[in-house]
Structure 1
Amino acid sequence: MTIFAVAAAVAVGFGNSNASGAGAVSAPKPQSTVHRPIHFDNTPALRMQHPQPTVSYPVRFPSPQGQQ
């Protein structure tokens, strides 16, 4: 069990070593090249869908005053 612990410690130590020898140099951060909002030129304009009646005849509702 001790041999396994020593081997694990050596593996972690070699994994964290700096191979370039340059010291503590921070890597550059990636920068986004995307500009938002994204527009596509060939897309059709969005249109609002109007509700369609479920029956083919007009449905008359009584008026609030009781008159037609």
Structure 2
Amino acid sequence: MIEEYKRSDGTVVRRHVRLPAGARRQTAIAGLIVAGVFLFGSGNTTTGARTQSGQHRLPQPQSTVVYPIKWPGWDKPVVQPTPTVSYPIVFPTTGSGR
């Protein structure tokens, strides 16, 4: 809330609210979403299938992964390269110092 004030040229500015750009639209959209969730989300419906006597239950998902996970070449590790020089190499630099 911006209170009433007087500009340097003498114009009186009334008390008003200054919202950021797009705030009114975003607030309206958020209000509609909340109202929709409140109206449609408070019904007496339940999720999932109800099982009655004589009906079969729906199949449940099963895990298909086998642990530990192994990639091709798992049993044959690759030898990592090692440096052939053990002393620091000084490269010539340009005049910029980079």
TM-score > 0.5 by shorter chain: no
The TM-score normalised by the length of structure 2 is 0.27
Greater strand share, 1 or 2? Answer: 2
